[in-house]
C-alpha cells in the first residue's frame, strides 16, 4: 500500500467533528436546516427547469458583452480626444508664444 496523507485525513476528521459540535447550538442547527432546505429547493427547481440556468447565463453574457462594447466605445472616444489634443497643443503653444512676443515687442521687457 502507498503512503496515506495524514494531514488531509486529520483536516477532514477535524472538520467533521467541528461541524458536529457546532450543531449542538440550537441557533446554528436551525440555520443549517434552513440553509439546507433552501439549497434543496433551488437544486430541485434547477433540475426541473434547466432553462432557468441557461437564461441566466445568457443574460449575464449579454450584460458583460454590452458593458465591454460601451467601454470599448468610451476608450475610442477618449483616444480620439487625446489625439486631437496632441494635434492642437503645438498650435496653442505657438499662439501663446506669438502673443508673448507681440507683448514683448510692444511693451518691452518691463514685465520682468
pLDDT digits (tens, 9 = 90+) for 4-17: 778 888 999 999 99
Q: What is the pLDDT of residues 32-66, one digit of tens each?
A: 999 999 999 999 998 999 898 899 999 999 999 99
Domain boundary assignment for the chain? 1-71
d(CA 71, CA 65): 10
d(CA 32, CA 39): 10
Q: Does the pTM of the predicted model rise above 0.85? A: no
Residue with cell 496515506: 4
Amino acid at each position: 500500500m502507498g503512503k496515506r496523507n495524514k494531514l488531509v485525513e486529520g483536516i477532514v476528521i477535524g472538520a467533521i467533528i467541528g461541524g458536529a459540535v457546532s450543531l449542538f447550538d440550537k441557533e446554528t442547527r436551525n440555520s443549517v436546516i434552513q440553509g439546507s432546505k433552501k439549497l434543496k429547493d433551488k437544486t430541485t427547481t434547477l433540475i426541473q427547469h434547466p432553462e432557468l440556468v441557461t437564461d441566466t447565463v445568457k443574460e449575464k453574457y449579454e450584460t458583460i458583452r454590452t458593458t465591454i462594447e460601451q467601454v470599448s466605445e468610451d476608450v475610442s472616444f477618449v483616444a480620439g480626444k487625446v489625439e486631437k489634443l496632441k494635434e492642437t497643443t503645438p498650435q496653442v503653444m505657438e499662439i501663446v508664444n506669438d502673443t508673448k512676443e507681440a507683448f514683448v515687442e510692444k511693451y518691452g521687457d518691463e514685465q520682468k
